[in-house]
Amino acid sequence: MNNYYDILGVREDSTPEEIKRAYRKLSKEHHPDMGGDGEKFKNISEAYGTLGEKNKKNEYDNRRNNPFSGGNMGQDDIFDQFFHGQQRGGNVQQAENLNANVDVTLEEINNGTTKTIRFNRVILDKSQQMKVCRHCNGAGTITLMGPFRTKCTTCSGSGREYHYKKISQEITFDVPKGVKNGETIFYAGLGNETLRGPGNLFIKLNEKAHPIFTREGDNLIISKKIPFPTLILGGSIEVKTLTGKIKVKVGEYSKPNHRLRVAGKGLTNEEGYNVGDLIVELVPITPKKITKEERKLLEELNNSKSFSIIK
């Protein structure tokens, strides 16, 4: 059995906040949408689904410290754990997980925000009468091989089948400042419910494309059109940020597509400090038409000493 503490890289006496931080860090590194290993991400989510919930963590610790703490373990239980333990904690549980996609803007990422989503999930309908399991005929076990029997996976050994119903549920959650595109928020126990327990809810945050800015880590990149003479003469230009407009100085003899860096005007991180920069890319523009006087000036400029060197 995988050691959940080793998977998350935490100690048994780690605080809930330490466990949560470890999960968030690892889930970012190994998220499949970010180029990570899908199997590792599944194991990380499974580990946090147990260690991140107090009751499940206590039960897990008891099992680790005393494998027989649940009472006398018979032959059926041993074989059931051997042949189905991985399935019960892995594929079956994963199949009951729910995934939601939520779009967030750069402004929301910069300031942090609260989102509310409504989703459908399947739960046990305990108001309806149970029926005999059609797979094991109420025995709760099925023949595995020879004389050995194992717990029925259809009814989880109860010998009965429950009815299910679909419900609509609403959840409100915080989007932290500086969240990365594709980051996932995890809620244990809010997936579809089975006799083995409920699955989990994964909320994936998708960064919406911005009409002005491009994100590069915590930095923001903006293209600013600038008259060609300003590149040579220098000057001051007005540039937009996520929080308003600022003045940016353009130095003399700037090159086309040169990038100016304005410190602290990028995205805000989760602690609330400005850590990203604003990068202004200078894009020279030329007029569609010029007057006779302007043409004459340009011809004189083109034949001048400084510009004739360029030819």
Q: Is the pLDDT of residue 56 over 60?
A: yes
Tell me which of 32-41, 88-97, 159-168, 290-299 is least confident: 88-97
pLDDT recorded at residue 145:
57
Q: Where are the domains of the chain?
A: 4-207, 214-308
4-207 matches 214-308 in fold: yes
Beta-ladder partners of 250: 235
- Average pLDDT of the chain, as a whole number: 82
Handedness of CA 120, 122, 126, 128 (dihedral sign): positive
Q: What φ, ψ does residue 227 adopt, rounded to 5°?
A: -60, 145
Distance between CA atoms of 134 and 162, rounded to whole angstroms? 12
Residue 81 confidence (pLDDT) above 60 = no
Whether 78 shows a pLDDT value over 60: the answer reads: no
Taking the C-alpha atoms of residue 176 and residue 60, their distance in angstroms, rounded to an integer, is 30
Q: Is the pLDDT of residue 79 over 70?
A: no
Q: What was the pLDDT predicted at 272?
A: 66
Domain 214-308 sits in CATH at 2.60.260.20
CA–CA dist 306, 301 (Å, integer): 8
Separation in Å, CA 72 to CA 223, 228, 241: 70, 84, 66
CATH architecture of 4-207: Sandwich (2.60)
pLDDT digits (tens, 9 = 90+) for 228-245: 899 999 999 999 999 999
State if pTM tops 0.85.
no
Report residue 67's pLDDT band, with 50, 70 and 90 as the boundaries: very low
Question: Which range (14-23, 71-80, 157-166, 240-249) has the least confidence?
Answer: 71-80
